[in-house]
Amino acid sequence: MSSIVKIGIIGAGAIGNAHMGAFQKLEGAQVAAITDVFLPHAEQRAQEHNIPLVHQSPQALLEDPDIDAVVVAVPNKFHAPLAIEALRQGKHVLLEKPMSIDSETARRIVEAKEQSGKILMMAHQMRWEGLSRALKGEIEEGKLGRIYNAKAGWFRKKGIPGWGSWFTRMDESGGGPLIDIGVHMLDLTLYMMGNPKPVSVFGTTYAEFGPKKAGIGSWGTPNWDGYYDVEDLATALIKFDNGATLSLEVSWAAHAAGLSEDPFIYLMGTDAGASIVGSTGKTVTHENNIIIESTLAPLEGDARQLMSEHFVACIQEGKEPITTALSGYTNNRILDAIYESSKTGNEVKLNWD
């Protein structure tokens, strides 16, 4: 492999387009090829970003010997087959969230990654936001002490995407807001907590808006001849092997009076606490029996740009990314457990043996 990492993009939609823009700004990478199930869309993106080659299919791109790494930015049900085939073809992979539509297919991705010896990185750009990096720095310096409780979530009041399309079909998406935006908050919180091992989950999901074609948002293209069989709100309590707990709440649509629609994370530690709500970060501690609250300043840098740089650096230096294949698998296991708990009404124990 040359010093320039040649990237192939699978998926010419909005997310794929964001990746194209980020990688084109890097000196150590070149977006060398693109493909999409709708080839005219790929051809349009190729013109916009000066991408030299449009492949006729994902398989053709994956078999291209000049491509070093691929970005998989397609609907959820295609994540596992494309990531696994990419790894078998000797490509490094930047995989959009969620890792897969369920933990079983996510496990197969992990196995393929281990067998290939290639890099597989999850594209969780929220870890790279300025406030996230600033807060992680505070945690690594020990300022929060031991984090024993966390609360995270994202309430959208009227934001169901693409009603009737793959977004709202369980067999194509793997779920609703829980696997769509909830996985972002789950991943970020686990990262902040030091990636403790989840041991039990209790959760409930609801579908009060989607089946009535209510709560529709602006993202995605509706298919009114389609169907809706996912949740539009989920809530869960996750327990970890170190005794810590995480409360997770997410919605695409909800009568959430008084609640912000900004994503949020609250961390409670033995020495201090911290929060990120939208673009605002804060820390709190007690000094001389007085509550001291401070503003957390974000670090500089574009999140997606930094994430792309990290992916390229991992390939060039042969190092594991901070968003590993195991982190993606762990997220999927927790999500599966929440759905199972909602169906059975029981707590779900997670066995990691």
Q: Do residue 164 and residue 293 come from a single domain? A: yes
Measured between alpha carbons, how far is 134 from 138 in angstroms, rounded to an integer?
Answer: 7
pLDDT reading at 353 higher than 90: no
Q: Do residue 156 and residue 192 come from a single domain? A: yes
CA nearest neighbour of 67 among 101, 32, 29: 32
3 versus 126: the higher-pLDDT residue is 126
Average pLDDT for 27-34: 96
Q: Do residue 273 and residue 339 come from a single domain? A: yes
- pLDDT tier at 5, thresholds 50, 70, 90: very high
Measured between alpha carbons, how far is 176 from 162 in angstroms, rounded to an integer?
Answer: 11
Could you give the C-alpha distances from 140 to 69, 76, 79, 326, in angstroms and in order?
31, 33, 32, 21
Chain-centre distance for alpha carbon 76: 11
Q: Do residue 202 and residue 277 come from a single domain? A: yes
Q: Do residue 161 and residue 76 come from a single domain? A: no
Domain of residue 344, residue span:
127-303+333-349
pLDDT reading at 2 higher than 80: no
- 95, 126, 157 — which closes off a domain? 126
Measured from the Cβ of residue 108, the count of other Cβ atoms closer than 10 Å reads 16
Average pLDDT for 9-13: 97
Pairing mode of beta strands 264-269, 245-251: unpaired
Q: Do residue 61 and residue 153 come from a single domain? A: no
- Say if 220 falls within a structural domain: yes
- Say if 325 falls within a structural domain: no
229-252: pLDDT as tens digits: 999 999 999 999 999 999 999 999
Output the domain CATH number for residue 76.
3.40.50.720
Q: Do residue 29 and residue 171 come from a single domain? A: no
* pLDDT value for 3: 86
SS (H, E, C) 57-76: CHHHHHCCCCCCEEEECCCH
Measured between alpha carbons, how far is 58 from 65 in angstroms, rounded to an integer?
Answer: 13
Q: Do residue 148 and residue 19 come from a single domain? A: no
Q: Do residue 160 and residue 284 come from a single domain? A: yes
Q: Do residue 121 and residue 136 come from a single domain? A: no
Q: Do residue 156 and residue 277 come from a single domain? A: yes
CA atoms within 13 A of residue 57's CA, in its CB half-sphere: 5
Measured between alpha carbons, how far is 31 from 70 in angstroms, rounded to an integer?
Answer: 9
Q: Do residue 32 and residue 148 come from a single domain? A: no
- 126, 161, 193 — which closes off a domain? 126
- 126, 159, 183 — which closes off a domain? 126
Output the domain CATH number for residue 239.
3.30.360.10
Calculate the CA dihedral of residues 177, 179, 182, 186 and round it to 10 degrees: 170
Number of domains in the chain: 2
